[in-house]
Structure 1
Amino acid sequence: MSLSNVPKLQELYFHPWKLPLETLTLVDDQFYSFIEYLVGSTLSNLLRVQEINSVPILLLTTDVFKHLFLKINDVETDLLRQELLLQIDNNNLIVKSANRTKIKCLFDILKITSDRIFQEGQRIATKHQINYSSFAIPSATPAVSTANTYSTLTVDDQRNSLLKCIDDWSSLNETFFNLKEFKLEEGNNFRLIVKAGTNGIQASIECLCKTIITLGKLHSKLIPSNFYRHLKSPGCKYVNRLLKEQKLEETNRNNSYSTTSSSSSSQLIDNNSQSTTAVVPNRKRTLGSTHKIKSKKQRKN
């Protein structure tokens, strides 16, 4: 997953809903890169040495700094202590306030995003019949299959959620595409198809380059990450066309500016030449007149 569409920690603190849901499924190196992107490499390494390699494990960890106060003698832990702890006297160490605040902020954002998944996409309509009087399951009781259970989100719910995600994503990725005005609007820039089938609610997006992208799911909720990936790929002719049109427009504007500047310079040179030509004869006449006056004075004398 690319982190280019993930806002910084400061923005996520005020708008946690902007965090892509895909980030909650990252593990190992991708997870550590995600943590480093938000709170820095030192705190990411702190999680790495403890093998906290995913969001669920992180959220279930009571105190990530506890590791630093254990009697562990290794170079990596000692380096982390130097970076993350503050010595207040000869014997006591405390976690620097900024580091603890970053982790708390990270926890809050991930918890809100996790709760959002459970509230919007985890309302699975399953009803398990549990017999508390016996551990044995009667043979006549049919097995409950979770493979064909569906989210309570309707087609309209899924559609509205996708459109909101796409709108937010396009606003956040203007700088990534180097486009001055990059806005994705259904009907103008893409066509969204959401419909219910035997395998639940499915969706696809037809890009303006005529490519049809099938959307994936995260915990029964449709997510547009495949569409994002297509737009960022070199194969999307629609984005390539936008970039070429913008480049052509800038070239024409620069050429127009150069032509205007050249014309102005030429006009200025012409005006200066005319002014010089007009002044020189007058100067000659003045000198000539002066010479005649001097000659007359000499004759009188």
Structure 2
Amino acid sequence: MSTSYTFDYLPIEVLQLRGYDFFQFIKSTLGEPEAHLLNKVAVKSISALLITEDPLDIFNYDVEDDELENLKSQLCFKLKNQKLLIKPGVISGFRSLKDALKKRVNEALTRTKKKSFNFNPSSISSLPTTIATRPLPNRLSLSEHKEYVLKFINKWCLENKENFELENFDLEENVDFIVNIELDENSDVRASIKCKCNKLILLGKNDNKIQVSNYYKHLQSIACDHMQQIKNAARNLKSIQQQQSSIAGILTAAAQSQTSLIQFSAVSPIATQETFDSNTSTLSNQVTSNGKRRLTSQSKQHGPSKRSRI
């Protein structure tokens, strides 16, 4: 790619280019990677390019996006310290094109001033009626876009908590992430999410609705430190709960064992004492009865003694 550009041949009509024609023009003048970059940062018309200060500034942010990583390898040099250096030819290409476009804008303004404008009321009635009856595109408001994004994030958390081995998984706006949604000069919606790990994730669109899949990919990647912290905190909490449950089980078992010993010591001595007293009473009665029998027997054997007379 040449490091110098001349765009003196650009026609005035180039200022009206947008969409497919705009990207084809960028491919033919700057290159295909430059066209992909403008599409990625939602610059889709000449007017949008003119008011965008520097589309290459996106490379100065730590954005989590596979397409941007691929564009970096095509439009930048990777230095030994892992930093990026945008190729000089890419920078001069964008600058030269914007200078030429600004020149065409000034020429168009000059021509407009030179022309006299004659207002003819009858010309209004001659305008095609289809312009007034043309249906407007069905567009969501910024609040509706945001509600749509938050709804799908909550749904995704609910459906994927088992995959992350989490009992409770709920990402909260302005705590775990920040949603940024805005409209460009063409009223096209642009959205991004800044994760708590300080990564900025650009969100795509489908039928003018924001897609959150890039944010999901970021959460599942090893690059998201915040998601790792959430999982580590859940593991620590589960470990503490298991320890507390184990300690409670040991204390319960010890309490039950102590209660059994107290009941045993409270009941057994009484039963033993009653048995001992009963046995002692029986033995005493037997001894007394036997003693009486001996005395009676001895008395009968010897009988009363008689004195002899002299």
The TM tier, using the shorter chain, reads 0.3 to 0.5
User: Structure 2-normalised TM-score?
Assistant: 0.44
Give the number of the structure whose alpha-carbon radius of gyration is greater. 2
